[in-house]
Amino acid sequence: MRLVLVGPPGAGKGTQAEFVAAHLAVPKISTGDIFRANVAASTPLGVKAKQYMDAGQLVPDEVTINMVRDRLAEPDAADGFLLDGFPRTTPQAVALDKLLAEFGTGLDVVLELVVDDDEVIRRLSGRRTCHGCGRIWHVEYDPPQREGVCDRCGGKLFQREDDRAETVAERLRVYARDTAPLVDYYGAQGKLVGIDATGPVEDVTTRAIDALRSYGG
């Protein structure tokens, strides 16, 4: 099965991508992993991407798409894959369709993790990170025994800038502007399957697998 996972920040895409890919026995491919691998190996695309990243600029679609092309051409992706973090925009989705057509194939399904904005803000703004060991706690879902103190190492907990409510709200606005249109794009192709991504991780995974099974996965 060839699928894409979409959803807002805080929907649990990274976690669900791992579980769903393992269930389907296909590689999980994220743009973050692709970037790191290319930069670490100093490939021509990696060198080019690093120039943009070092300058604090977005890596152009052309570079990203070529990295994705190289990764999808590897043997382990021949019989299927799960893409996490790509495409992020409709132009990238169009480019991915063209790329897969070159390979003589196409996407089977796009799985959307559906979470409302209030839940996303609650999830992300409640996270606290330990200065000492890096362990992440949550003030509501996974609180330490002593407020502001890590159970594991006794380190002080802090809220990352990315987890502040106003920052999360801005990330959601960017998602609504740039990535949410993918739902309409893939819905028009009849490839979109949405699931409720609230509740325990295991329940969400079960819903995802059941939805894919019903779809034909």
Closest CA to 18 of 30, 10, 7, 8: 30
Among candidate residues 69, 135, 171, 191, the one labeled active-site is 171
Q: Could you tell me if 59 and 88 are in contact, meaning their C-beta atoms sit under 8 angstroms apart?
A: no
Residue 13 catalytic? yes
CA 76 to chain centre: 20
Among candidate residues 48, 122, 123, 127, the one labeled active-site is 127
Distance CA 189, CA 205 (A): 24
CA 158 to chain centre: 24
Residue 171 catalytic? yes
Among candidate residues 160, 164, 173, 213, the one labeled active-site is 160
- Widest distance between CA atoms in the chain: 57
Q: Could you tell me if 5 and 13 are in contact, meaning their C-beta atoms sit under 8 angstroms apart?
A: yes
Residue 164 catalytic? no
**Torsion sign (Cα): 75, 78, 83, 86:** positive
Q: Could you tell me if 6 and 112 are in contact, meaning their C-beta atoms sit under 8 angstroms apart?
A: yes
Among candidate residues 13, 28, 48, 128, the one labeled active-site is 13
Q: Could you tell me if 4 and 83 are in contact, meaning their C-beta atoms sit under 8 angstroms apart?
A: yes
143: left (phi over 0), alpha (psi -120 to 50) or beta: beta
| Active site residue ranges | 13, 88, 127, 160, 171
